[in-house]
Amino acid sequence: MGYTLDFSVVWHAMPALLWGCVGTLGLALAGMTLAMTIGVAGVAARDSKAAWLRAIVIGFVEIVRNTPFLVQIFFLFFALPLIGLKLNPTATAIIALGVNGGAYAIEIIRGGVQSIHKGQVEAGYALGLHKGQVFRFIVLKPALRAIYPSLTGQFIMLTLTSSICSAVSAYELTSVAQRIESDTFRSFEVYFFVTFLYLAISWLLMLGFAVVSHRVFSYPTR
Amino acid sequence: MTPHFGLPEFGFLLRGLQWTMLLTVVAFVGGCTAGLAVALLRTCGHKGVEWITRIYIGIFQGTPLLLQLFVVYYGLALTGLKLDAFVAVAIGFTVNASAFLGEIWRGAIQAVPRGQTEAAMALGLHYSSRMRDIVLPQAIRISLPATIGYLVQLIKGTSLAAIVGFIELARAGQIVSNQTFQPLLVFGVVGAMYFILCWPLSWWGSRMEARLALAGQR
């Protein structure tokens, strides 16, 4: 075979690829924000007194966790316009990531809330804190500390999952790579390099999260 | 005239489902074999080898599965081997599975109490016998929930083969959707098929996890 690898195409496309990285991070960040919102609302609904509400949340979590993201994003891509949301591919991708991540966030946040001992909440009320204060200081902050590792892991997962959003041509790294590939036909070189860009992104995120965790959550608990 | 979603279309999806299942089985069996090797190398005690396997696992955990598939798919094409699309994606998923299962089993092997290994050494058992008869049977039990969890991930992950053009369930769904212009119905059915495949496994896995947690309390 006379094929020689030529990575110069990657070098020429560098600015576009770096903007793709920005797109990917923006997509993941927006998706995660939506996911957290769904997560908190979902946890409240999951433990509500209304049985139908609990059933909806459980059903939502099971359906999202047991179907592929690709099928979810295709479904939303066609379903959202029907309910009057005519969005561009990137906005659709954010909603898909938010819905997908939301299901996992519900489980993670719920685990965190359950890690708070009931006696602590009772002690809070005994000290005269009202409901909002108990939630904020006694449930939320320690729970956040407990779920921080899984939540940040989830964010990195979401960042990697966002590559699938290229299937609806949302603006992110993989779709930028696909465009460069179709311009240059250097499939292997482009995807090989982009894979390493993703690796760099996830390693930097991991490093950043570790630093934050060290700063914010390293207070003694007992 | 565009065809409506009927029995022939449903049959086409079912054939896609068969390919999804076959792809999963091949990747899982291959991934188990290679993953065992990765797990054993990762815990072999030799610093250099452990370090290399650690990086190997880190690369697969830190990059998107879709890109891994692209690299393997186009990389294999460069070698000049005329591989069937099925073989190419199967290799991609197998390599990915080897890293993830390797990491799961690494954790399980290390979760087996150290005293078990020491006792086996005191009895004069060799490495192979120590692993085969003492450590691995216990490690497999510990790792089962996570292994099943990965199997569910794998089933869902095979949908990405659709993007490189292999016709499994998700790609079959795209084709039928384009033919019938009934995307919601088609992707609803496709999603339901994945759900029927994954949900019992998820349920089994979480039940086993709960049981193991109870056993651990005693």
ipTM summary value = 0.91
A174 Cβ under 8 Å from any chain B Cβ:
yes
Considering only CB atoms, B162 lies closest to which of A70, A160, A194, namely: A70
Higher pLDDT, A113 or A122: A122
CA-to-CA dists, residue B9 to A172, B4, B58, B165, B180, angstroms:
33, 8, 41, 19, 9
How does pLDDT run across A5-39, given as a tens digit for each residue? 878 888 888 899 999 999 999 999 999 999 999 99
Q: Which residues of B touch A160 (CB under 8 A)?
A: 62-65
Q: Both tokens of residue B197?
A: 């495949």
Between CA A157 and CA A146 the distance in angstroms is 19
Digit-by-digit pLDDT tens for chain B (218 residues) are 577 888 888 999 999 999 999 999 999 999 999 999 999 999 988 999 999 999 999 999 999 999 999 999 999 888 877 788 899 999 999 999 999 999 999 999 999 999 999 999 999 999 999 999 999 999 998 999 999 999 999 999 999 999 988 999 999 999 999 999 889 999 999 999 999 999 999 999 999 988 888 876 65
Closest to B191 in 3D by CA, of A210, A5, A67? A67
Question: What's residue B81's pLDDT?
Answer: 79
Closest to B164 in 3D by CA, of A52, A33, A187? A187
Which residue, chain included where needed, has tokens 């292999």? B166
Q: Do B187 and A78 touch (CB under 8 A)?
A: yes
Considering only CB atoms, A203 lies closest to which of B62, B163, B184, namely: B62
Q: Do B62 and A199 touch (CB under 8 A)?
A: yes
Going by pLDDT thresholds of 50, 70 and 90, the confidence category of residue A220 is low
Output the DSSP codes for B73-129: HHHHHHTT----HHHHHHHHHHHHHHHHHHHHHHHHHHHS-HHHHHHHHHTT--HHH
Question: Which residues are within 8 A (CB) of B4 and not within 5 positions of it... i.e. 6 or more apart?
Answer: B180, B182
Residue from A4, A189, A191 whose CB has the most chain B CBs within 10 Å, to mutate: A191
Given 3-state DSSP classes, what are the helix, strand and coil percentages for chain B, each rounded to the nearest 5? Answer: 85, 0, 15
Q: Model's pTM, two decimal places?
A: 0.90
Which residue, chain included where needed, has tokens 């080897």? B98
